Amino acid sequence: MAENDLSCRRRRIVVAPSPSNPRLRSPVLNVECAEDEEVEWFWTETAEGRFVSGYCIVPKLREAAS
């Protein structure tokens, strides 16, 4: 497998969800992932609200055949 094989995959940008309180700041703004991947967001909850504090890229689940 050539080094460029993975870089040839189509990529997309996924924007992180907004915090519940506009005064809170998330360290994650967006994530780049492949078309066959999804982003799982990690949330931190505080007395002031919740915000995205991290993420994990996982393979997309394939839909069952109709």
**Distance (Å, whole) CA 58 – CA 52:** 17
For residue 66, tell me if it sits in a domain. Answer: no
For residue 65, tell me if it sits in a domain. Answer: no
* Whole-structure pTM value: 0.74
Q: Work out how many domains the chain is built from and give that number.
A: 1
- 56 contact partners, CB below 8 Å, separation of at least 6: 39, 40, 42
For residue 64, tell me if it sits in a domain. Answer: no
pLDDT (tens digit, 9 = 90+) per residue, 12-64? 999 999 999 999 999 999 999 999 999 999 999 999 999 999 999 999 987 65
For 60, the token pair is 């997309």
Residue 45's DSSP bridge partners are 50
Range of the domain at 41: 3-59
For 33, the token pair is 């992932």
Q: How far apart are the first and last CA of the chain?
A: 34
